[in-house]
Amino acid sequence: MCLDCVVLPASRTCEVCWPSKLQQRCSDDDIVQFISLGGLLSSLEKARVQLDSDEDDFGFLADLLKSRELQALVHVHNKINRTKKACQPLMSNAEDIAISIMREIHYRTIPSGDAIELFAILQSPHLQGVLQAHDSIAAKDFVPHLPEIPVEVDEDEETVKIVQLVKSNEPMGATIKHDDRTGAIVIARIMHGGAADRSGLIHVGDEVQEVNNLNVVGKTPADVLKILMQAEGTITFKLLPAGSAAYLRESKVRVRAYFDYDPKEDKHIPCKEAGLAFKKQDILHIVTQDDPYWWQARREGDRNMRAGLIPSRQLQERRILSQRQEQTANGQMTSRPSRHGEVNNRDYQFVTREELEEEAASGTLVEHGEFKGHLYGTSSVTLKSMINAGYVVLVTPHYQALKYLRTAEFKPYVIYIKPPTLAVLKETRQAAHARSTFDENNSRGFTEDEFRDMLKAAARIEFHYSHWFDEVIVNDELSSAFELLVAAVNKVETEPLWVPASWVQ
């Protein structure tokens, strides 16, 4: 069972109701004999001037009325209405007559050859189906009959809605859940564009009190499931309306998917059968973002009107962050021993000197070198595997490695962390009690000369490689610089970026 809905085995969906469609009654007097699209267009233009409404809505209606498809449908409609008097059926009991003829032939002692052939024709299931369809249309029995809505209502009873639905091939597009606070069965979700949404009669928060005259107050979603499984024909719901019945207006947001998604593999989705599967690069129409964790969407161009559930951007980003925290890897290797608090594969890959020399000799390092008696290197194999797995890899290479990393294979976004002016550099590092990295054997602050060496090195890097920088962050204050770095990484993950044309050809 889903988290907030009931699963119907018969339809293999988690939606509460059987496939249903609200049936509406109308009389012959309500049928429009002829439709003038020109008159509708004229009225629309008048309304545009008189009403203060969205121009997009008027444009949509005007384009619809001018469309060839609607023109063709109206033409067929008018043709049928002009000729329907000449097409009136002569009888509505053709099937009964056929049965009477077959009975007459059957009781004949020696039927003729023509009679035997007629009996075989009338006995054909295809012809019997045609006769049944003829009689149903002639009797206007092609719409399911709804029972009369009960009018006996207790004067002391709260205002309720009586909604009657008839089974069809379309899911209703609604789910139910048990309200932990009140103990009631309530409508948990309305799928945008589904039958429930289009009916305008069922809303999120409505309390289900009866199903087919059976009281469900105090029962569980599983109990409601049993009632629905046994129901046939019309299903009658007695609902206590929610406080708000807001109209579900579609948003105009379109997004491109950057990952594959299969709701059947998502253990957190409220209802797997209500989910929408999609592939990377699919264009999705986000129809509503009311739920902060589960949006409703349709694939752009999909003819299925009912929306499906997909994880929201906020939820997906949380998942990615969680996965990265569980599966952190580091492509930087060193032969030095690990220090207190350092973790293998998180801070560095700690290997022996011989292993790192072997990696360098095999050409699998994008950079390598020796610093204070220890070897350091960055593994191209690890970087490629992480990139192929969908990670955004953060690397802090030597500046000379840029020529090997800035290729179509890695497609890097180069962020240069620039030191501030000498005065700010000295002030901020001394305030933070920063320890010198030039003297590994002694714990002391930076000297004036070391600060100047930093600025000289920075100037040399900018002179040779600034044309490759995609972004520059001045490290004048550690916390603010870190926030800018996190924002840059998020931008790389979520926004399209300019790259050399050769990288995408």
Predicted confidence band at 278 (pLDDT cuts at 50, 70, 90)?
Answer: very high
**pLDDT one-digit tens code per residue, 308-327:** 899 988 888 777 766 655 55
Beta strands in 279-337 (DSSP E): 283-288, 294-299, 308-311, 332-334
Which residue type occupies 42? S
The distance in angstroms from the start CA to the end CA of the chain is 48
**pLDDT one-digit tens code per residue, 219-262:** 888 888 788 777 777 788 888 887 655 555 667 788 888 889 99
Report all structural domains of the chain as residue ranges with CATH numbers, in order of start.
28-87 (no CATH), 94-138 (no CATH), 147-240 (2.30.42.10), 254-311 (2.30.30.40), 327-409 (3.40.50.300), 413-505 (3.40.50.300)
Q: What is the pLDDT of residue 455?
A: 92
User: Is pLDDT of 22 > 50?
Assistant: no
**pLDDT one-digit tens code per residue, 336-345:** 888 888 888 7
The rounded Cα 251 to chain-centroid distance in angstroms is 13
User: Is pLDDT of 148 > 70?
Assistant: no
Q: How far is CA 336 from CA 33, 97, 333, 377, 437, in A?
A: 89, 99, 9, 12, 16
Q: What is the pLDDT of residue 198?
A: 75
Contact 216, 210 (CB under 8 A): yes
Q: What is the pLDDT of residue 403?
A: 84
User: Is pLDDT of 7 > 50?
Assistant: no
Identify the weakest region by mean pLDDT among 143-157, 251-265, 392-406, 414-428.
Answer: 143-157
Q: What is the pLDDT of residue 230?
A: 78
Q: What is the pLDDT of residue 10?
A: 34
Average pLDDT on 54-65 reads 76
**pLDDT one-digit tens code per residue, 90-140:** 788 888 898 888 888 888 878 888 888 888 898 888 998 898 888 888 877
Dist CA 488 CA 456 (whole Å):
26
Token readout for 357 is 């020399």
Q: What is the pLDDT of residue 330?
A: 65
Predicted confidence band at 472 (pLDDT cuts at 50, 70, 90)?
Answer: very high
Q: Is the sign of the CA dihedral 182, 184, 189, 193 positive or negative?
A: negative
Dist CA 217 CA 227 (whole Å):
13
Average pLDDT on 62-91 reads 77
Contact 476, 420 (CB under 8 A): yes
> CB under 8 Å to 5, separation ≥6 — which residues?
14, 15, 16, 175, 176, 177, 188, 189, 221, 270, 271, 274
